[in-house]
Structure 1
Amino acid sequence: MSQRLGISGGIARAFLTSEITPLLALVGFLLGMFAVMITPREEEPQINVTFANVFIAFPGASAKEVEELVSTPAEQVLSELEGLKHVYSVSRPGMSVLTVQFKVGEDRTQAIVRLYNKLYSKQDWLPPGLGVAQPIIKPKGIDDVPIVSLTLWTEDPERGGHELNQIAHALEAELKRVSGTRDIYTLGGPEQVVHVLFEPSRLAAYQLAVDDLRYAFQQSNATSPSGFVVKDNREIPVQAGVYLSTIEEVRDLIVGVHDGKPVYLRDVAEVRRGPDQPEQYAWFGTGAAVASKGIEARGEFPAVTIAVAKQPGTNAVRIAEQVIDRIDQLQGLFIPEGVHVTVTRNYGKTADAKAQKLIGKLAFATGFVVLLVLFALGRREAVIVGMAVIITLAMTLFASWAWGFTLNRVSLFAL
């Protein structure tokens, strides 16, 4: 009399007697190896932690007025958002800065859409004609954290933060060609601007005021469509005005008329191109471990840092390697002699090292279990348990990749 088996027993017997079972086990193992090779690797898991900064300008208002007329009403409007964790604001003269943070796990796209919808559907919360500007929303998330930081520094006393900043901006355009990069920006170093230094005595001699010069800049540095010219079965668009693009055009700008003759900007002001007033400084300093980096210089040097972030769900290890390889290719082309590039942050390298370490520990734990079964039950049982554990882990890794998860220390700890 045969014993009646349950659902689990029936499934087990079917696979035990089926000739396709070894093939399925091999396919599961190969799919797992495939997943290990192509699954994006990160140090931390992809967790939706969405927040945004909302900037609302109120020119001419004091911090108290900004708080009472803008910040407090805006907090009340934003507190109605679904999935909101908290909202707080900072009021300063002429500007209200609100930080909106959503609960962990809220879909980023839906959360940002709700934020935009709430702000622009409640624009009547401010009295008309008050002079408050349109809100500017800057969404932030976990993928805004840079995965690679490249510090440009030099020992050349003739170069400073301004020159390094120009090199960094040229490198930004090249690094954006690397597939998977998202946000690339430079920290440190003043930007290049055109300085206009007025001479009060010259302005008085030509009977001009600063407002006259401001008006001339606003009118001259503008362009707008002015219609079309139709001729010979062709339509030609007409554009009125051009933007100021060179320093010579700025110097030759007509700012007024005196005694029937045009007055140029160069007649009443000194116009030169150069670095802006610095708002932040960056320095590269060497320490005790500098020899391990292959750096011979000692001391502190002017520097700027290029930060590179990645797109969501992409492989941090691969993108970091491609960015660093691209920098090596640009040596001598965009990076002149005397300017050094040091990798001061490599998120991909640390993520790969931690993933490899956890995979090694996972293999060690599996091997230890197999040895324990070998000594306790025998060789056949050890082989069966080892194959079952390995194939189960392989199929789990493949399912994680298919579901869109990344290979990180949290997912490996779960295994």
Structure 2
Amino acid sequence: PGDLSPAVTIAVAKRKGANAIVVANQVLEKVELLKGRIIPKDVNVTVTRNYGETAREKNNELLFHMALAVISVTLLIAVALGIRESGVVLIAIPVTLALTLLVFRLTGFTLNRVTLFALIFSIGILVDDAIVVVENIARHLRLPENRGRPLREIVAEAVDEVGNPTILATFTVIAAVLPMAFVKGLMGPYMRPIPIGASAAMLFSLLVAFIVTPWATLKLIKREGEIHHAPESWTTRFYRKVMRPLIYRPVIRSVFLFGTVALLLFAIAFLPLKWVTVKMLPFDNKSEFQIIIDMDEGTTLEETARVAREIGDYLATVPEVTDYQLYIGTAAPFNFNGLVRHYYLRRGANVADIQVNLLPKHERESQSHDIAKRIRPAVQKTAEKYGARVKVVEVPPGPPVLQTLVAEVYGPDYEKQREVAKQILQIFKTTEGVVDADWYMEADQVEWRFTVDKEKAALHGISTEHVTNALTLALSGMKVGLAHQPQEKEDLVIFVRFPRHARSNLESLKDIKLMSPSGQMIPISELVRVEKHLSPKSIYHKNLLPVVYVTADVAGREESPVYAILKLNKRLKEELKLPDNRQTSIEIWNIRQPFTTDKWAVKWDGEWHITYEVFRDLGISFAMVLVLIYILVVGWFKDFLTPLVIMSAIPFSLIGILPAHAAMGAFFTATSMIGFIAGAGIVVRNSIILVDFIEVRLRQGMPLGEAVIDAGAVRFRPMLLTASAVIVGSAVILFDPIFQGLAISLMAGEVASLLLSRMAVPVLYFLLKRRLAQHQGKTAQV
């Protein structure tokens, strides 16, 4: 950094469906072959951006994490159940993943970061079926009454015992994640591989659990002669010890239930107290960012270059910066931000673009977002010195938007609309946490109009066209002929124009002399009136309505547009002065565009709009999840109240999710919501199997209280294993910048569910059945 050299940038893009890694490697190989032939030896070729290398690094990292998750889950099963049992699960995982990859192939998804995350996310939940089947087989093998029986019969009986509830539970998880595939807007295609991949993985895991797992068990598990009775594990004994007072001692039971509800309310309070903040997606850790420079229209190219170079000199002192490129008067090569922000269309003497490259993330301690925040004050200080407007722009983690904060200003009069927008821009600049404020409006530019006095021109015999052609030649230039050069293959165009200093001087233009028919030289100043005006400004439209855009980014403690908009809404209502007295305050539209421009209004767009769309659609998906789960459970248990008991465990996962986000300093993001919804399916899945076992015990003649305790004790170890598998499988993505929220929701939700729901559901089921028995006038054995 700091050693500036003139450069030409060549950008190469891959075709749709092509492999970015292969294309990048072939381009670099071709460049090496061209050196010394097409590319002279004294020309230095530097790669300033290689998204093929970025894709390779991301994919390799995720493939490593996926392998680590598979090995970790297998080791977990080996420790809990045994080496042979873990071998059964180890067979089930790759078979299921291979079938899921086939689904991705058939649905047109490529192997990218999101699809790989979908596979890693699936690992923690796809082993659930295999764990339930393997653990139940292992339990049956240890029962005294099965001593001497053929292994094939024991396996078939064990699979049959958990078969129906496992089918229902699996479809419950699918019902929990599949509706997320119908999220609309820009985020829909981005997150669609997760619900599709997870649903396919669960369906295939069910088939593998009923087909491959019993076969693998017959091949790997101990033979009949080795079956022995084993005492209950410490987890089972612990569960019985905890549950007995909860069932038989009303005071302890009431304290537990009210305490659980209190914990839930306390956890939910983390959101309004801002101990956990909501954001669309967290900031990613990239190896690049941009600095966009805008000067007032009419600024010279040299002045713009001076600002860009001074900012570049500062960037050279930042230790994490490896190099930077200055694009002055033109745009940087097309990139992700350019899709929506239209940076690639920027042209003119008053604009510049600095592309900043950072050290690879494993060679620096700070994340790219922290570096961008750190340099912003110094960059802004330099810009203010020259009256420039700068924006430090990071690569968006999800779909790009025009800007994080976008205020669309509407009104009945466009000139006054600009005045209102100017006030809003000032409010943006003075609001804490709002940075890089700007608006889509040109600065005032003086325009000199040469109006031909036709009477004077006619007296001298000079036409209006003659005057116009002379000024056009002076200002814009004109082709006046061809020069024939013997050594050139083609004729050279002769282009005539005044030098820059002459065409920039009003007096020089007035002194241009035109020849009259009489041969007299007449200065243009005698033929025209020179009038000073302001040049007209651009008028932007959205859905045919005139609009003025005011944009900004957010930084600081909250770093989410949601909280910035709440503060800005209050200030707009209190401080904004409207041009007329017909309105006391400006209308604020958070979702829809105003239908007409009869009233002064501001509509929020940018990242807020995508945040609203995604959380709205995820909320609708969650409602669909609840309805589908309820229908499935009602159909199985043939009861309208039991499903409510089973589903009561869903909100309890928030007791772990929200405090865990606060402890990790993480945003509650769209991926966090995905984790919560998927976790709801897992929680209900375990509750279904638990309640089904309770009813099996009741049909066997066991008293209600003992049936609840015994069924919970029998199912506690497999539920502990499935929760541990989800936690271990998700741990590998815990520190990923984008999918951290999903990992936190799954891990913390499972911990809270294991510690609370596995006790709360049996207690609530016990209370429900006892009350129904009393209501029917029966005496229940308790």
Task: State TM-score, norm by structure 1.
Answer: 0.50
* 1:339/1:172 CA distance change after superposition, 3 Å: farther
Partners of 2:375 and 2:572 lie apart in 1 by 40
Counterpart residue identity of residue 305, structure 1: Y
Question: What is the CA distance between 1:188 and its match in structure 2?
Answer: 0.9
Match of 1:140 in 2: 393
Task: State TM-score, norm by structure 2.
Answer: 0.30
Match of 2:278 in 1: 41
Q: 2:243 aligns with which of 16, 28, 33?
A: 16
Q: 2:422 aligns with which of 169, 179, 194?
A: 169
Q: Secondary structure at the match of 2:648?
A: helix
Match of 2:568 in 1: 323
Aligned partners of 1:317 and 1:349 also within 8 Å:
no
1:53 aligns with 2:284: no
Bigger-Rg structure (1/2): 2
Aligned partners of 1:316 and 1:348 also within 8 Å:
yes
Aligned partners of 2:327 and 2:353 also within 8 Å:
yes
Question: What is the CA distance between 1:4 and its match in structure 2?
Answer: 3.5
Question: What is the CA distance between 1:96 and its match in structure 2?
Answer: 8.3
Q: 2:647 aligns with which of 365, 386, 396?
A: 386
Match of 1:257 in 2: none
Q: Deviations over 1:131-160 (max 9, x none)?
A: xx9xx99633359923232325554xxx74
Partners of 2:550 and 2:666 lie apart in 1 by 29
Question: What is the CA distance between 1:396 and its match in structure 2?
Answer: 1.5
1:100 aligns with 2:356: yes
Match of 1:151 in 2: 409
Matches within 5 A, 1:197-346: 281-284=538-541, 287=544, 304-311=548-555, 313-324=558-569, 326-330=571-575, 333-336=577-580, 340-343=600-603, 345=605
Greater share of strand? 1
Match of 1:271 in 2: none
Partners of 1:115 and 1:150 lie apart in 2 by 25
Aligned partners of 1:15 and 1:21 also within 8 Å:
no
Match of 1:405 in 2: 666
Aligned partners of 2:289 and 2:357 also within 8 Å:
yes
Q: Secondary structure at the match of 1:140?
A: strand
Partners of 1:40 and 1:320 lie apart in 2 by 14
Q: 1:372 aligns with which of 627, 632, 641?
A: 632
Partners of 1:339 and 1:413 lie apart in 2 by 39
Partners of 1:114 and 1:350 lie apart in 2 by 28
Partners of 1:23 and 1:360 lie apart in 2 by 29
* 1:387/1:96 CA distance change after superposition, 3 Å: closer
Q: Secondary structure at the match of 1:388?
A: coil
Q: Deviations over 1:19-58 (max 9, x none)?
A: 3543442234223432455543333334345624398xxx
* 1:168/1:137 CA distance change after superposition, 3 Å: closer
Partners of 2:539 and 2:645 lie apart in 1 by 60
* 1:22/1:328 CA distance change after superposition, 3 Å: closer
Aligned partners of 1:175 and 1:326 also within 8 Å:
no
Q: What percentage of aligned pairs have identical amino acids?
A: 11
Structure 2, unaligned stretches of length 5 or more? 1-228, 247-251, 294-299, 331-348, 379-385, 449-531, 582-597, 677-782
- RMSD of aligned Cα (Å): 5.4
Partners of 1:96 and 1:322 lie apart in 2 by 32
Partners of 1:385 and 1:368 lie apart in 2 by 13
Greater share of helix? 2
* 1:112/1:52 CA distance change after superposition, 3 Å: farther
Aligned partners of 1:51 and 1:100 also within 8 Å:
yes
Aligned partners of 2:440 and 2:549 also within 8 Å:
yes
Q: Secondary structure at the match of 2:649?
A: helix
Q: Secondary structure at the match of 2:665?
A: coil
Question: What is the CA distance between 1:99 and its match in structure 2?
Answer: 0.6
Q: Secondary structure at the match of 1:307?
A: strand
Q: Deviations over 1:341-360 (max 9, x none)?
A: 44262643552343133134
Structure 1, unaligned stretches of length 5 or more? 118-132, 196-273, 291-300
Q: Which has the higher contact order (CA 8 A, sep 6+)?
A: 1
Partners of 1:328 and 1:368 lie apart in 2 by 43
Question: What is the CA distance between 1:183 and its match in structure 2?
Answer: 3.8
Match of 2:622 in 1: 362
Aligned partners of 1:42 and 1:406 also within 8 Å:
yes
Partners of 1:370 and 1:54 lie apart in 2 by 52
Partners of 1:111 and 1:176 lie apart in 2 by 19
Aligned partners of 1:144 and 1:309 also within 8 Å:
no
Partners of 1:386 and 1:188 lie apart in 2 by 54
Partners of 1:180 and 1:115 lie apart in 2 by 13
Match of 1:3 in 2: 231
Q: 1:351 aligns with which of 611, 616, 626?
A: 611
Counterpart residue identity of residue 412, structure 1: M
Q: 1:188 aligns with which of 441, 455, 461?
A: 441
Partners of 1:116 and 1:171 lie apart in 2 by 22
Question: What is the CA distance between 1:399 and its match in structure 2?
Answer: 2.2
Partners of 1:149 and 1:413 lie apart in 2 by 29
Partners of 2:411 and 2:260 lie apart in 1 by 55
